[in-house]
């Protein structure tokens, strides 16, 4: 009975559909539309091409169509035509030079195109081309190139590459699946599969493409030489184009490749390269986002701008002009809240020859002396700066509140200057960090935890002078009434300053208060550890000078065998050990598990879950200088707080407060040399109603 009922329902349904379709077919003019009712037609419009048969060209390598080759069909097509390719093997190199063509596999079929023998397999030179549904074998030649399987050449804007599979012959590696040439834009790449290629998609300068996430890009570099805004699907072949389209406060993410550009940042944003978040001094990445400024400034931050972060690039100038200043990064006048971190800045030089003050060379340069403004709140952290001609980092003119931390500045080149205002200064100079410029003031500068090794040594007078840190402040050259306003609030600590002519050198410019120079390793400098030519005393106690006997001073410490110091340096007491190793710290309680009233009752839990009070316990040690103090921080969703400082063992914090929720706990250990290390509990959930008396 059930089977009979099912047959009647099926028969009624078929008749009903027929009654609906007959009048619809009669109403449509003959030949106007071809309707494909395949099972996949409802899934994607691109699988069901609607075309007029009079505009359709059929390609079949068996001879059953209009042409046996795809190129013959293109050569005889008109704008707006449809070229439908049947199953088969097609080995002709293609040039698509007729606009508004649709070239598609026949429904349900996957024709194969072999273009591996050609430098450019499919060259698209016309606009608004739709290419869909092919299996394409590209060039697997390992020498020369690049040999793109598809090249979007000039004039091919509006190209759509949909549902194709890019392959090479077994045992080969394709060079480039899809190359988008300079200035080509509005390219759409969707639902393709790329297998065994070195580069999936490459964008040349000033090109632009939408690359959807449904592509399967199995290549060493899936998308190369491209930048995008946040995580959008629109990619730009130039970083500058991405910046120009970025809303204020957003992020430009830059992928693999070398970008030969002079980038101007004119809005608040974050610029991230592939090294973002990774300290290159600890873990340099093999593949980089490289910015080559070529002749002048690789990156310039517009005057007056605030809230800019540059994170994770390799920056260079391959052809710096010898007639103008140049820098890897120029931080402009009156800028604020600027952060430079995790970058490699290198090979910035204009070559040998005599230089002038007008063509100096910098890794990072802070510049500007507006009477009404000034640069402030700048962080330069964890960068590697090397092979720069004159100054690794330069803080010039009217600048305040700068932190320079964790950088390695090494192997500077030095520059031949014959135009220095003081003939007693050495003519061949460079400095890892330079402070000064015109007018000033330079105030509240913290230089902490850096390695400063110019590797330029000499006697500091008649021969070269490489300074770990140099000071030189002068009046404005064009208006001498604007006198130098002074250095103040200078803190230099926990740095390793070695392999220079002078570790720290003052050339000109007064100080309004004493610099603090503590807990540094100042050793292995050929002329001086500190050479202070100013009358303001440098407070330089508790430094290591290369020998337990302390620094050499002909009067104050004639038996010292460490680096020499000049007058106006307070160096005693000094450190008699070379402690440049941070302390060790470990949180021993709580570990992952469940705690009730400060006792662990269950271990198999992914993070600490505690009911009632809990004691945070820490093991900390420093075999060289010993532990000075331990700080406990409690962090939550909208802030953090220092909750306890401990100077003696046991290093513990008894946490007993009325609270409920997730927290992060940071514990910082400081040794007697001023170095620190941090241990964390990333997630701890606590339930405490404050009913428990300690």
Residue 368 within any structural domain of the chain: no
| Pairing outcome for strands 336-341 and 306-311 | parallel
Q: Is the pLDDT of residue 160 over 70?
A: yes
The domain containing residue 106 runs over which residues? Answer: 52-224
pLDDT averaged over the chain? 88
In this prediction, residue 477 carries a pLDDT of 79
In this prediction, residue 6 carries a pLDDT of 34
pLDDT average, residue stretch 18-39: 36
Q: Is the pLDDT of residue 27 over 50?
A: no
Q: How confident is the model at residue 18 (pLDDT cuts 50, 70, 90)?
A: very low
Q: Is the pLDDT of residue 356 over 90?
A: no
Contacts of 479 (CB under 8 A, 6+ apart): none
562 and 547 in contact (C-beta within 8 Å)?
Answer: yes
Q: Is the pLDDT of residue 25 over 70?
A: no
Q: How confident is the model at residue 144 (pLDDT cuts 50, 70, 90)?
A: confident
DSSP secondary structure string, 496-550?
EE-SSSEEEEEEE--BSSPPEEES-EE---SSEEEEE-SSSPEE--S-B-SSTT-
Q: Is the pLDDT of residue 689 over 50?
A: yes
Q: Is the pLDDT of residue 71 over 90?
A: yes
pLDDT digits (tens, 9 = 90+) for 181-220: 999 999 999 999 999 999 999 999 999 999 999 999 999 9
Residue 301 within any structural domain of the chain: no
SS3 assignment, position 605: coil
In this prediction, residue 43 carries a pLDDT of 35
Where on the phi/psi map is residue 374: left (φ > 0), alpha (ψ -120 to 50), or beta? left
Name the percent of the chain in helix, strand, coil, to the closest 5: 5, 45, 45
**φ and ψ at 158, to 5 degrees?**
90, 5
pLDDT average, residue stretch 9-38: 37
CB atoms within 10 A of CB 550: 24
Q: How confident is the model at residue 693 (pLDDT cuts 50, 70, 90)?
A: low
In this prediction, residue 457 carries a pLDDT of 85
CA atoms within 13 A of residue 206's CA, in its CB half-sphere = 6
Nearest Cα neighbor of 281 from 430, 449, 434, 402 is: 449
In this prediction, residue 358 carries a pLDDT of 67
For a pLDDT cut of 90, what percent of the chain falls above it?
Answer: 73
436 and 442 in contact (C-beta within 8 Å)?
Answer: yes
DSSP state of 366: E
Where on the phi/psi map is residue 196: left (φ > 0), alpha (ψ -120 to 50), or beta? left
Residue 157 within any structural domain of the chain: yes
Nearest Cα neighbor of 428 from 466, 400, 479 is: 466
For a pLDDT cut of 70, what percent of the chain falls above it?
Answer: 88
In this prediction, residue 285 carries a pLDDT of 76
**d(Cα 432, Cα 409) in Å, to the nearest integer?**
6
Q: Is the pLDDT of residue 33 over 70?
A: no
Residue 525 within any structural domain of the chain: no
Q: How confident is the model at residue 35 (pLDDT cuts 50, 70, 90)?
A: very low
64 by Cβ neighbours in 10 Å (0-12 / 13-18 / 19+) ranks as exposed
pLDDT average, residue stretch 240-269: 97
In this prediction, residue 143 carries a pLDDT of 83
**d(Cα 242, Cα 232) in Å, to the nearest integer?**
11
pLDDT average, residue stretch 512-530: 95
CB atoms within 10 A of CB 29: 6
In this prediction, residue 22 carries a pLDDT of 33
pLDDT digits (tens, 9 = 90+) for 534-572: 999 999 999 999 999 999 999 999 999 999 999 999 999
Exposure pattern of 655-665 as b/e (b: 16+ CB <10 Å)?
bbeeeeeebeb
pLDDT digits (tens, 9 = 90+) for 82-92: 999 999 999 98
Q: How confident is the model at residue 51 (pLDDT cuts 50, 70, 90)?
A: low
User: Where is the domain boundary, 178, 193, 224?
Assistant: 224
In this prediction, residue 421 carries a pLDDT of 59
Structural domains of the chain, count = 2
Task: Out of 161-165, 205-209, 318-322, 435-439, pick the least confident.
Answer: 318-322
Residue 263 within any structural domain of the chain: no
pLDDT digits (tens, 9 = 90+) for 595-616: 999 999 999 999 999 999 999 9
Q: Is the pLDDT of residue 137 over 60?
A: yes
Residue 569 within any structural domain of the chain: no
SS3 assignment, position 555: coil
Q: Looking at residue 134, which CATH number applies to its domain?
A: 2.160.20.10
Contacts of 286 (CB under 8 A, 6+ apart): none
Task: Out of 116-120, 239-243, 579-583, pick the least confident.
Answer: 579-583
pLDDT digits (tens, 9 = 90+) for 491-506: 999 899 999 999 999 9
Q: Is the pLDDT of residue 580 over 70?
A: no
Q: Is the pLDDT of residue 260 over 70?
A: yes
**Complete edge-to-edge strand list for the sheet that includes strand 451-453:** 257-260, 289-292, 314-317, 344-348, 384-388, 408-410, 451-453, 496-497, 521-522
Structure tokens at 607: 């993070």
Query: What value, to the nearest 5°, has the Cα angle with vertex 56 and ends 53 and 58?
Result: 120
Q: Looking at residue 613, which CATH number applies to its domain?
A: 2.60.40.10
Q: Is the pLDDT of residue 10 over 80?
A: no
Residues in the chain: 694
User: Where is the domain boundary, 192, 208, 224?
Assistant: 224
User: Where is the domain boundary, 160, 192, 224?
Assistant: 224
pLDDT digits (tens, 9 = 90+) for 507-518: 889 999 999 999
**d(Cα 443, Cα 485) in Å, to the nearest integer?**
10
Residue 31 within any structural domain of the chain: no
Exposure pattern of 237-267 as b/e (b: 16+ CB <10 Å)?
bbbbbbbebbeeeebbbbbbbebebbbebee
Q: Is the pLDDT of residue 294 over 90?
A: no
**d(Cα 445, Cα 398) in Å, to the nearest integer?**
12
Residue 319 within any structural domain of the chain: no
Q: Is the pLDDT of residue 239 over 50?
A: yes
Of residues 338 and 463, more confidently modeled: 338
Task: Out of 26-40, 110-124, 342-356, 668-682, pick the least confident.
Answer: 26-40
Contacts of 557 (CB under 8 A, 6+ apart): 549, 550, 551, 571, 572
What is the distance between the terminal CA atoms of the chain, rounded to a whole angstrom? 79
pLDDT digits (tens, 9 = 90+) for 396-438: 999 999 999 999 999 998 877 666 556 555 666 789 999 998 8
């Amino acid at each position: 009975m059930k089977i009979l009922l099912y047959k009647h329902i099926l028969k009624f349904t078929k008749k009903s559909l027929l009654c609906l379709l007959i009048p619809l077919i009669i109403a449509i003019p003959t030949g106007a539309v071809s309707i494909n009712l395949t099972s996949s037609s409802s899934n994607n419009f691109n699988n069901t091409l609607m075309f007029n048969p009079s505009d359709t060209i059929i390609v079949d390598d068996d001879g059953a169509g209009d042409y046996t080759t795809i190129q013959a069909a293109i050569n005889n097509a008109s704008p707006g035509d449809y070229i439908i390719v049947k199953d088969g093997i097609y080995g002709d190199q293609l040039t698509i030079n007729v606009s508004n063509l649709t070239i598609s596999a026949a429904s349900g079929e996957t024709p194969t195109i072999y273009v591996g023998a050609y430098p450019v397999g499919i060259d698209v030179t016309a606009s608004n081309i739709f290419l869909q549904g092919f299996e394409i074998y590209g060039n697997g030649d390992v020498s020369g190139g690049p040999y793109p399987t598809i090249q979007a050449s000039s004039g091919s804007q509006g190209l759509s590459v949909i549902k194709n599979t890019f392959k090479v012959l077994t045992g080969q590696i394709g060079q480039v699946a899809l190359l988008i040439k300079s200035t080509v834009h509005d390219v759409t790449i969707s639902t393709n599969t790329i297998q065994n290629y070195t580069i999936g998609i490459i964008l040349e300068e000033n090109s632009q493409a939408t690359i959807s996430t449904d592509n399967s890009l199995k290549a060493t570099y899936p998308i190369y030489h491209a930048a995008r805004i946040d995580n959008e699907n629109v990619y730009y072949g130039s970083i500058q184009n991405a910046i120009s389209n970025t809303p204020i406060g957003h992020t430009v993410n830059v992928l693999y490749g070398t970008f030969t550009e002079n980038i101007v940042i004119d809005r608040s944003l974050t610029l991230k390269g592939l090294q973002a978040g990774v300290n290159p001094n600890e873990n340099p990445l093999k593949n980089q986002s490289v910015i080559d400024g070529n002749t002048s400034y690789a990156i310039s931050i517009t005057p007056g701008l605030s809230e800019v972060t540059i994170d994770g690039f390799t920056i260079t100038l391959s052809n710096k002009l010898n007639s103008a200043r140049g820098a890897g990064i120029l931080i402009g006048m009156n800028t604020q809240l600027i952060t430079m971190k995790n970058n490699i800045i290198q090979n910035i030089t204009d070559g040998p020859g005599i230089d002038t003050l007008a063509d100096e060379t910098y890794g990072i340069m802070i510049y500007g002396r507006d009477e009404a403004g000034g640069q402030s709140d700048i962080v330069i952290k964890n960068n590697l700066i090397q092979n720069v001609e004159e100054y690794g980092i330069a803080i010039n003119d009217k600048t305040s509140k700068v932190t320079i931390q964790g950088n390695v500045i090494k192997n500077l080149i030095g520059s031949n200057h014959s135009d220095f205002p003081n003939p007693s200064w050495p003519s061949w100079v460079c400095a890892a960090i330079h402070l000064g410029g015109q007018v000033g003031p330079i105030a509240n500068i913290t230089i902490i935890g850096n390695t400063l090794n110019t590797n330029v040594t000499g006697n500091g007078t008649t021969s070269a002078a490489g300074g770990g840190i140099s000071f030189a402040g002068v009046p404005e050259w064009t208006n001498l009434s604007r006198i130098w306003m002074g250095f103040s609030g200078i803190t230099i600590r926990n740095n390793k300053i070695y392999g220079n002519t002078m570790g720290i050198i003052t050339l000109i410019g007064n100080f309004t208060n004493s610099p603090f120079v503590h807990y540094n390793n100042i050793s292995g400098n050929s002329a001086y550890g500190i050479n202070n030519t100013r009358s303001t005393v440098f407070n330089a106690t508790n430094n290591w000078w290369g020998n337990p006997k302390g620094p050499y001073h002909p009067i104050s410490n004639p038996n010292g065998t460490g680096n020499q110091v000049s007058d106006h340096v307070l160096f005693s007491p000094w450190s008699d050990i070379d402690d440049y190793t941070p302390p060790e710290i470990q949180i021993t309680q709580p570990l992952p598990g469940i705690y009730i009233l400060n006792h662990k009752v269950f271990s198999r839990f992914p993070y600490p879950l505690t009911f009632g009070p809990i004691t945070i316990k820490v093991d900390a040690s420093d075999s060289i200088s010993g532990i000075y103090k331990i700080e406990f921080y409690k962090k939550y969703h909208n802030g953090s707080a220092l909750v306890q400082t401990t100077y003696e063992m046991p290093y513990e914090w008894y946490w007993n407060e009325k609270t409920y929720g997730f927290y992060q706990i940071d514990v910082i250990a400081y040794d007697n040399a001023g170095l620190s290390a941090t241990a964390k509990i990333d997630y701890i959930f606590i339930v405490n109603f404050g009913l428990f008396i300690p």
